[in-house]
Amino acid sequence: MEKNQMQPVDIYGNQFKRAGFVLVLLLGTFLTIINQTLLVTALPKIMGDLDINAIDAQWLITSFMLISGIMIPTTAFLLNTITNRTLFFIAMGSFAVGTVICALSTTFTTLLIGRIIQAMGSGLMIPLMQTLMFMVYPVERRGEAMGLVGVVIAFSPAIAPTVSGWIVDSFDWRYLFYILLPIVGINILLAFFYMKNIIKLTKPKLDVFSLILSSLGLGLLLYGISIAGNVGWQNMTSWISCIIGVVVVILFTHRQLKLAQPFLEVKVFKSRTFTLSTIIVAIIFMTMIASEILLPIYTQTIKEFSALQSGLILLPGALVLGVISPIAGKLIDKHGIKKIATIGMLILTIASLPFVFLTKETATWWIVSLYSLRMLGMGLVMIPLATVGINALPNELISHGSAINNTVRQVFASLGSAIMVGVMSATVIKYNNNFDGTSALLKGLNYGFMSAFLLIVVAFILCFFIKSTNYLKETD
């Protein structure tokens, strides 16, 4: 292959070094994604320092997920309106400002504002990175490229509890943000040299009503799910918010099908491969995020481990996920998705079942081994399937596919936490009169992990409907 075919080019036809471009994208995405779960183990310290209750503290995580989810669909429009270089600086700039506010916060209000500004940058950054990675790699190497993305998307939230546990056990919780600032600064500096414009702008007309419907529908849906996750599904506000949110999302979808220049091209769901892979990946991701909430509850409450010890239990699994993701990407480039996904889902299903039967006496090494095995299965399935799904779309729809893929994953992540924590809480209430508090909580955790296992079984079944062909461009 000739050199000019090997190296990507910018919109002016000039070649540039892919390695620096990719490094800037992945580092920026790592910084934004790690914040999704960075505060999970730090909330008790923040509650004590700022004198807030658990429900208020939970909004520091909920607001981040909520705003990120609202921002993600706008990237498809923005990538065709603003140069990708400018959009990158807007995303990282917003994240940097939010991080500074969080680091300097002395009240709950300022900390919450900082988290919201951070989330605006994060919501733009994730689909931006995914779209650009697809554009700078040839079709036959996109599995390898998305393997690198998998290291970031899956590894970041997995390692965050370990980092957070160490920091809050040893230092002030504000150091969670202090340590991010120099890395953010370095990444922005590198972007001045390596970030290039590679997407030709089409300047679509903004349909303001679509923007309103998208933001309102997703906002209400995520808000309702978040309330359910915090106080339970018996709350009528959560149901009303979710129902109205779903109705508005349906109206938004109907409008997109009628527009000549849709705000978000929902016709990507005509691709069977894209639709199936998006659903399967979202289910797997929701069980991963929910398990990373349930497992620390088990280790810190039932096993009475510290935040750091709890995080260290998750660390080997995070490392396994980080190692297997790029390997899995290369495997699908060579062998296709069917075989790799089936093996990965089988491993994931088998490794998930024992969590249903956790007891107070379950050995720590057994938990670490099972969790690592789960991460191995996820690494073989999650990013490879996402790659094949988006690769089934023509290049002009990749930005829309990335935005939709990430939006669905964000909604499912919130839904997974709400469902599994809700199942756990409902079970604890049910058994509280018959058992002591610890036994009731353990029963709740078992049922929470059972719901995760059942969802994984559903994803496994759906995997058999994925086409074995890897890089087919569907036109139907």
Any residues with CB less than 8 A from the CB of 191 and at least 6 apart, and which? 24, 28, 85, 88, 89, 92
Distances in Å between the Cα of 461 and the Cα atoms of 130, 209, 278 are 27, 38, 14
pTM of the model: 0.80
DSSP state of 110: H
Q: Which two tokens stand for residue 390?
A: 């988006």
Sign of CA dihedral 402, 274, 223, 257: positive
Any residues with CB less than 8 A from the CB of 172 and at least 6 apart, and which? none
pLDDT of residue 468: 61
Instruction: Give bridge partners of residue 442 from the DSSP assignment.
Output: none
Distances in Å between the Cα of 344 and the Cα atoms of 1, 325, 381, 383, 464 are 33, 11, 5, 11, 12
**What span, in angstroms and rounded, lies between the C-alpha atoms of 154 and 164?**
17
In the chain the first and final C-alpha atoms are separated, in Å, by: 31
**What span, in angstroms and rounded, lies between the C-alpha atoms of 300 and 361?**
14
The residue count for the chain: 476
Q: Of 72, 63, 34, 29, which Cα lies nearest the Cα of 409?
A: 72
Cβ-based neighbour number of residue 67 at 10 Å:
22
pLDDT of residue 473: 43
pLDDT of residue 230: 67
**What span, in angstroms and rounded, lies between the C-alpha atoms of 336 and 304?**
44
pLDDT of residue 2: 39
**What span, in angstroms and rounded, lies between the C-alpha atoms of 68 and 33?**
10
Determine phi and psi for 309, rounding to 5 degrees: -60, -40
pLDDT of residue 177: 92
DSSP alpha helix (H) spans, 336-436: 337-352, 364-391, 398-431
85-127 per-position pLDDT tens digit: 999 999 999 999 999 999 999 999 999 999 999 999 988 898 8
360-384 per-position pLDDT tens digit: 888 999 999 999 999 899 888 887 8
Per-residue model confidence as pLDDT tens for the chain (476 residues) = 334 446 777 677 778 788 899 999 999 988 888 887 788 777 778 888 888 876 777 788 778 878 888 888 888 888 888 899 999 999 999 999 999 999 999 999 999 999 999 999 988 898 888 888 888 887 777 777 777 777 777 667 667 777 777 888 788 889 999 989 999 999 999 999 999 888 887 787 888 898 899 889 888 888 888 777 666 677 788 889 989 999 999 999 999 888 888 888 888 888 888 899 889 988 988 888 777 778 878 888 888 887 677 778 878 887 888 788 778 877 776 777 778 888 899 999 999 999 999 888 889 999 999 999 998 998 888 878 888 888 888 877 888 888 888 888 878 877 777 788 778 877 887 777 777 777 888 888 898 899 989 999 999 999 888 776 544 444 33
**What span, in angstroms and rounded, lies between the C-alpha atoms of 124 and 81?**
14
pLDDT of residue 268: 86
pLDDT of residue 412: 82
pLDDT of residue 6: 63
**What span, in angstroms and rounded, lies between the C-alpha atoms of 417 and 409?**
12
